[in-house]
Structure 1
Amino acid sequence: MTIMSMPLNNETLVALLVGSVVKFLGLGIISSRKRKELVGHVSRLYVFPLKSARELPGETHEVELTEYGIVYRGAGDRHWLVTRNGDMMTMKQSARLTLINTSLEADFLCLDAQGMDTLRLSLQPEVDPKRVSNVTVKETPLPALDLGDKAAAWVSAVLRMDGLRLHHAAPGLQRRLSCKVQKAWPTQIADTDEVAFQDFGHCMIMTESSLDELNDRLPEQMSAIPFRPNVIVDGSRPFDEDNWKEVHFGESAAVRYVDKCTRCLITTIHHETAEKYKDDQPLTELKKYRCMPPYGPKPCMGIHTVVLKPGHIRLGDPVYVLRR
C-alpha cells in the first residue's frame, strides 16, 4: 500500500501540514539569505596611486577590480610608496604627502607639487633585480622596485626630509598577504588575500549618507578625500555598509567584507593644505557615536573589502548586497 492510498487520520494530516509549513519557511529563510538586495548606486570612484598622496583628478567613470585591487588606465591603487629606511611613509609621518598631485599621461604616472618639475614614472617599468629591495608595510616586508635617485631626490625635496626613496609594486613582484597584518580583533581576511601597499583590503567602500550624517554634526563640511575611499555608494541608509557581507556592482564585479575601517589622525589633515582641522575633527565627533566593540577607542567609518569577482566598476552601477 502506498502512502497516497493510506487512510489519513487527523493527527497524520496535522503532522504533514506542520511539516510542509516548516519546510516552506526554512526554504524561504535560506532563499532570503542568498537573495541580493539593491541598496543604491555607485556615485563616486577614487584611485590613489601613491599612498597618502592626492587622488587621480577629474571624474573617474570606470575602474577595473583586479586580484590586487583597483586599477585605472594601468595605474594601480596604492601601488607607489614613499619609504624612509625601508619603512612606509604616510601622512602620519609627513602631512606634506597630500600636497603631491597625481595624474596620468600616456604610459606614465605623473607626480606634481608646487615649485617642482613634473616627475614622470613608467606604468610598466623594467624590473631590474638589482633595484628590487624589501620595504615594510604594516610591519610586513614585501619586495618593491626602487625607482632611482632622481625620484628619491624629488620626494625628499617635496617632503623636506632626507633619505627618502620611492618604490613601486611593479607587475610580477610578490605581493603581501593581508593576514600578516596584526590586528587586536578578528577579521574575515583569508590566508590567500594579497595586496600591494594598501593597508588591508583591495577596495574601501563608504556611503554618501554616512558622510552626510557626519557633516550634519560638524561645524565645517568635510570632503570624502581625507577618508580615502575607492567607491562611494548613494541611496542607502547611513552606515548601512557595516552590515554588508558581499557587494556586487552591476553584473560585473563583486567584493566581500573583511573588516570595518577604523579611523586615525590622517582624517584630521586637510587634503588640500596639509593643515590640521580644528579640534581634531572629524575624529572628535566620530568618537562620540562610531566607537564600538571590538575596536576600542578607534571610530569606524567605511568597510575594507577584497575582490570576490574581478570585473569593472562604473559610475551609476546598481549596487546589490548580501547582508552579514
Structure 2
Amino acid sequence: MSRVPTYVTASITAAGVLGSAYCAYRLYQNYQDKPIKLPETWTKVGVLKTLNAYPVKSCAPVLLNRAECTAMGLRDGWLRDRVLMMVDDQNNFITARTFPEMLAIQPSVKSSVLTLKHPNMEDVSINLAEVVATQKPKISKVWGDPVPVYDCGWEPSEWISRLIDRTTQKYRLVYYASEKCRNIRAGASFKVYKFTSKDTGALPDETSYNLINEASVDDLNTRLTGSHVTPCNFRPNFVLAGAKPYDEDNWKFVKIGENVFEVIKPCMRCVLTTIDPETGVRDANTEPLTTLRKYRLAETARERKAVGNSPRMGIQMSLRSGSGLVSLNDPIYVA
C-alpha cells in the first residue's frame, strides 16, 4: 500500500486523580456504568519495569519507554494496543493459540505506517491512515462478538496467508474501526465480575490493561520442573518489580504515575502461556498451566463455575482517571 502524507495524531495530555478507599471484588452489575470512588490513600509496592503494547493481537509486543494511557489502552500516536488482528475467511479472529508462528511477527509503527517483520518473510508495510481514509467498516468477530473493522488490503492478506499456511487469500489483517471500547456479550465471566462499557478496549479478550507481578512469575519458576517462564509468556502491558509474590490478589486499585486503574478481575490463563514467545514451541508438559492449576485456581465456587480450571496469574484492569502518561520506572501504588 502506498504512503500518503502523515496524518496529525492525537496530542498526549496528563491528568490528575482524586477519590476514596474501596474493598474486594464486586459482582457483575448488568454492564452498567456507575460512579466509582477512587482511593485517597495509597501504598507504594514497586516500580514499572516493562511497558508493552501489542498493536496486532497475538503478535510480538512493542517495548515502550513512555506511552499515553487511554480508556481503550496504551497509545503512542498511531501505535495503539490491540487495535489490529488477523481473521479467517469467515471473519473470525485467529490467534497464536492455533497459529504459534504469529508470535514471531514483530510489528512496528512509524507515523501512520505499520510494518510487519518475520524471520522467514520479507517485510510488509501498511499505511493505517490510508486504510481509515479509504475503507468502509465491516464486521469481524472476537469470541463470537461482532466488532467493526477496516480491511487493511490485499498485500498484508497475502503476506499473512503465505506465512500461516502457504495460501494467498485465506487470512486478512483488519484494523479496529471505532473510538469506543468494543461491546462484549454478558457471558459467564461477565456474570461474576464487574465490567462497564469503558473497560473492554479495542480487540483484547477482556479488558484494556493487564499487569504482571514479576515476583509472582519468579515464585512460579521455583515450582516448575524442566520449564522456565518469563513475564513475556503472560503478554502483559505492565510488569511490576518490587512487590511480594501474589500480592496483586488483594489489590482493588493500582496507580502508575498519575493514572488510576481499577482491578476488574484476575487474569485467567489459557494455553497461549504454554507456547514459548521467542520460539513458538509448545511446552511438552503444558507448563506453566499444569503447575498453576495446582495452586492458582479461582477462589470461589461461583468463579470456578464461570472459568473452569483456568488458573489465575496477573490482573485485568481498566483506566479510571483521565488520560495520562506512563513511563518506565514510574512508581506503582495500590489500594
TM-score, normalised with respect to structure 1:
0.83
Partner of 1:227: 234
CA distance in 1, matches of 2:72, 2:98: 25
1:63 equivalent to 2:77? Answer no
- C-alpha displacement at 1:180, in angstroms? 4.3
How many pairs were matched up? 290
Equivalent residue letter for 2:279: T
CA distance in 2, matches of 1:182, 1:130: 35
Distance 1:29 1:267, change over 3 A: closer
Partner of 1:243: 250
CA distance in 1, matches of 2:275, 2:213: 21
1:148 equivalent to 2:130? Answer no
Partner of 2:140: 135
Among 299, 312, 324, which residue is 2:325 paired with? 312
Superposed, 1:279-298 pairs within 5 Å as 279-292=285-298, 293=300, 294-295=303-304, 296-298=308-310
Q: Deviations over 1:216-243 (max 9, x none)?
A: 1123321211210000111111111122
Partner of 2:86: 82
CA distance in 2, matches of 1:198, 1:181: 15
Equivalent residue letter for 1:264: C
Partner of 1:273: 279
- C-alpha displacement at 1:194, in angstroms? 4.2
CA distance in 2, matches of 1:182, 1:79: 24
Asked which structure has the greater CA Rg, the reply is 1
Partner of 2:107: 102
Equivalent residue letter for 2:73: G
- C-alpha displacement at 1:184, in angstroms? 6.8
Q: What is the RMSD of the two structures over their aligned residues, measured on CA atoms?
A: 2.4
- C-alpha displacement at 1:182, in angstroms? 4.5
Q: Deviations over 1:13-34 (max 9, x none)?
A: xxxxxxxxxxxxxxx999xx74
Distance 1:29 1:60, change over 3 A: closer
Contact preservation (8 Å) 2:275, 2:282: yes
More helix by share: 1
Q: What secondary structure sits across from 1:248 in the alignment?
A: strand
Contact preservation (8 Å) 1:268, 1:277: yes
Give ranges in structure 2 of 5+ residues lacking alignment.
1-20, 24-38
Give ranges in structure 1 of 5+ residues lacking alignment.
1-27
Distance 1:48 1:274, change over 3 A: same
- C-alpha displacement at 1:244, in angstroms? 1.4
Superposed, 1:1-20 pairs within 5 Å as none
Of structures 1 and 2, the one with the larger relative CO (CA 8 A, separation 6+) is 2
Q: What secondary structure sits across from 2:266 in the alignment?
A: strand
TM-score, normalised with respect to structure 2:
0.80
- More divergent stretch after superposition (190-199 vs 270-279): 190-199
Partner of 2:315: 303
Distance 1:130 1:42, change over 3 A: closer
Superposed, 1:106-255 pairs within 5 Å as 106-127=111-132, 131-160=136-165, 162=167, 163-170=170-177, 172=178, 175-178=181-184, 180=186, 182-183=188-189, 185-218=191-224, 219-250=226-257, 252-255=258-261
Equivalent residue letter for 1:284: T
- C-alpha displacement at 1:42, in angstroms? 0.8
Contact preservation (8 Å) 2:262, 2:318: yes
Which 4+ stretches in 1 moved above 6 angstroms?
A: none
